[in-house]
A and B are shown apart, each in its own frame.
Chain A
Amino acid sequence: MHNYRLTHLKELESESIHILREVAAQFEHPALLFSGGKDSIVCFHLARKAFFPAKVPFPLVHIDTGHNFPETMRFRDALVQEHGVTLIVGSVQESIDQGKVQEETGYHASRNKLQTVTLLDTIETHKIDCAIGGGRRDEEKARAKERVFSHRDEFGQWDPKNQRPELWDLYNGRKRPGEHFRAFPISNWTEMDVWQYILHEDIAIPSIYFSHEREVFERDGVLYANSDFMRLKPEERPYMRRVRFRTIGDMSCTGAVDSPAATLEEIIEEVASSRVTERGSRIDDKRSEAAMEDRKKEGYF
């Protein structure tokens, strides 16, 4: 008698593949939101598995703030080339140039919030009826309540108090014209699951996840990468330091962590003993207690 038992990573993988196939079956123009971060990379890897030997049947969408880490952009372009997928880029700079959004000013200026407008514009322009994202419920408390198939009204808004019940693995993607969905295939994965899966499946990720020497400066207890996008205060002095990034957003809202972890095994060990969440290095979440919920209601990732 065999032992018909799946490990938890295999069970999560199976659930995610099922979700991706449901998206492809239920929607006409789905797309995968691809930031070049580890979660969207894992989603793309799962999509390749879900549709093998066919190609992934939807394009990637990158909402480009113009403030990206150059390493992430190189990684994105190499991945698109290697797998022959279509890449749609929604540019925040264009939204600014068109006058749809106004650039924030001051030392804390970030394009994080502006992305929502560009994202919703891109969804509308390309008639995307389901945008697949790499959000996880363990990341943030507003995300913990989000459905796998998450409905958005014609303004792209999320109504957290009025979500559809979601039972078993039956996903209701029915909608009216003009509305769209967000789908989250790795909802039930934790940060640790993602890292273990990357190790187990030998998935390539951008180099800035690993320890490296970088010019940084400190502000409000956070280590920022020094770049042309950041306006330094007079007392802020950039210096070289051995760091890595635990999450990747754009350069203005992602903090680095001190770390010697240069391999996946070392990263996993570091994550296992860490006493703060990965969002702890995300300045975008810290603007208020409900920062994520407020942005999500407006249509954020």
Chain B
Amino acid sequence: MSYLDMDLLRFTTAGSVDDGKSTLIGRLLFDSKAIFEDQLEAVERASAKRGTGEVDLSLLTDGLRAEREQGITIDVAYRYFATPKRKFIIADTPGHIQYTRNMVTGASTANLAIILVDARKGIQEQTNRHAFIASLLGIPHIVFCVNKMDLVDYDEAVFERIKGELEDFSSKLDVQDVRYIPISALKGDMVVKRGANMDWYQGPTLMYLLENIHIAGDINHIDRRLPVQYVIRPQDDRWHDYRGYAGRIAGGVFRVGDEVQVLPSGFASRIKSIDTEKGPLQEAFAPMSVTLTLEDEIDISRGDMLVSPNNLPETTQDVEVMLCWFNERPLVPNGKYALKHTSRDARCMVKEVKYKMDINSLHKLEGDKAIGMNDIGRVSLRTTVPLSFDPYNRNRNTGSLILIDEGTNETVAAGMIV
């Protein structure tokens, strides 16, 4: 396999401060040679200054001065490494501060979530929280790593007991693919190498799983959706009258000759060409960025969506979402916010808060409708213009939206359309 055949896997790592997350990431990076000598020397120097005796790998990801000074991670950090099979992007999210906000952000684009469980402690409240957020954000693959197996004598019974508890909990979640691996991030067992301590475990190592898990099927190649991002009109004699509809395909496959319908106007046409700078294509699929031309001249602008006429998304001004709130200023009932959905800008009003989730117990708090920072709740929105969408669990691109405070311009919430 060559570099030009590799695909891309994005994953998040969830865990608290002392469960070995940094050690695990450090090991993955070390063993794939993604840590360079100058980086390692810098971390060694900084660790020595703190006098902890050990090399603190979290210093690799904690890039901001305030983070190093306070010994905390403030924000999502992105790390990159590659093996001969795949390129990986890790969204490493901090354990404490702004937990929901950061994990939701990291999870929004992830194919896979690694959730660490301490073998000595078993399922903790936050394990449930991590798993719930991963499933809410539609991450298709969850890998529970039961870590620190070295501290429980690599005991199969411990792993099986925790695995059983995790299975019970996971059955309540909407996740397609859940895996369980016993590991020792510190000693390396079952991370990259199998090690000699857990012959009773027959499954793959974590690295084998990351390299081989099937992700091409996670993208929706059924529902044809192209949010129009930009209309290309060259002011040039050679391309007289050219109108290209540019966007990133959010679902399905588009072929030359296919019928398409424009939403919300409802006009129909056929695809005349799919153009790229390297020549025309016969077909294109999600998540490619493309430019289409149509047989007929129709009025289409940014925010419209091209879809298949026999497979329409829902188009309405009334939207139900699971909303994650990010801002210190709580959600204002009946408040108005700016909204971004695909390439569409709109405004919306919060019509009703249905309930708030207790993200540790997964109970619906029907009586508690105050949505503040890091809260998740089910909310009805009324939008100024119709949105064309699919439910989030069918399409993460056409089913997601963000809310923006019109006064401060801050992104205050993320919504998954129910």
Contacts and interface: CB of A to CB of B under 8 A. Distances in A.
A29 interface: no
Interface of B: 3-8, 36-39, 42, 46, 60-66, 68, 74-80, 82, 86-87, 89, 101, 104-105, 108-109, 216, 219, 221, 229-230, 232-236, 238-239, 242, 244, 246-248, 253, 275-277, 285-289, 291, 302, 326, 338, 340-341, 343, 396-397, 400-402, 404, 409-411, 414
26 contacts: A7-B5, A7-B7, A8-B6, A10-B288, A11-B7, A13-B289, A18-B248, A53-B239, A54-B233, A54-B235, A138-B79, A138-B80, A141-B60, A141-B63, A144-B63, A144-B77, A145-B63, A145-B75, A167-B400, A167-B402, A168-B396, A172-B402, A176-B409, A277-B36, A289-B65, A293-B65
A168 B400 contact: yes
B177 to A, nearest CB: 18
B7 A5 contact: yes
A8 B8 contact: yes
Contact of B6 (A7, A52, A163): A7
Contacts of A277: 36, 38-39
B289 A14 contact: yes
Contact of A170 (B39, B62, B286, B400): B400
Contacts of A293: 63-65
B237 to A, nearest CB: 12
Contacts of A6: 7-8, 287-288
B258 to A, nearest CB: 15
A274 B3 CA distance: 17
Given A21-B230, A167-B104, A168-B109, A53 B236 contact: yes
A166 B411 contact: yes
Given A54-B239, A280-B36, A4 B287 contact: no
Contacts of A52: 232, 275-277, 291
Nearest to B285: A4
A190 B401 CA distance: 29
Contacts of A5: 7, 216
Contacts of A142: 63-64
B229 to A, nearest CB: 5
A145 B76 contact: yes
B7 A53 contact: no
A25 B77 contact: no
Given A21-B230, A25-B230, A163 B287 contact: no
Given A48-B277, A275-B36, A168 B108 contact: yes
Given A5-B216, A138-B79, 14 more contacts: A7-B5, A8-B86, A14-B287, A52-B232, A161-B66, A167-B105, A168-B400, A169-B109, A169-B397, A175-B409, A187-B78, A190-B80, A196-B4, A290-B65
Contacts of B3: 192, 196
Contacts of A49: 276-277
Contact of A192 (B63, B82, B248): B82
Contacts of B340: 170, 172
A194 B142 CA distance: 30
Interface string A1-24: 011111111111111011001101
Contact of B232 (A14, A53, A163): A53
Contacts of B5: 7
Interface in A44-63: 48-55
B383 to A, nearest CB: 15
A103 interface: no
Contacts, number: 192
Among A7, A280, A293, the most chain B Cβ lie within 10 Å of the Cβ of A7
Contact of B105 (A22, A143, A165, A176): A165
Q: Which of A8, A15, A49, A51 has the most CB of B within 10 A?
A: A8
Contact of A145 (B64, B87, B239, B289): B64
B326 A165 contact: yes
Closest 6 CB pairs of A and B: A141-B63, A8-B8, A54-B234, A17-B289, A52-B277, A167-B108
A193 interface: yes
B39 to A, nearest CB: 6
Contact of B8 (A12, A161, A165, A176): A12
Contacts of A289: 42, 46, 65, 68
Nearest to A140: B63
Nearest to B86: A8
Contacts of B86: 8
A275 B37 contact: yes
B404 A174 contact: yes
Contacts of A200: 4
A164 interface: yes
Contacts of A122: none
A276 to B, nearest CB: 5
A137 interface: yes
Contact of A276 (B37, B105, B286, B287): B37
A145 B277 contact: no
B248 A172 contact: no
B289 A18 contact: yes
A48 B302 CA distance: 20
A279 B37 CA distance: 12
Given A145-B63, A175-B409, A53 B77 contact: no
A196 B87 CA distance: 13
A260 interface: no
Nearest to A160: B64
A164 B302 CA distance: 24
Contacts of B235: 54
A142 B26 CA distance: 18
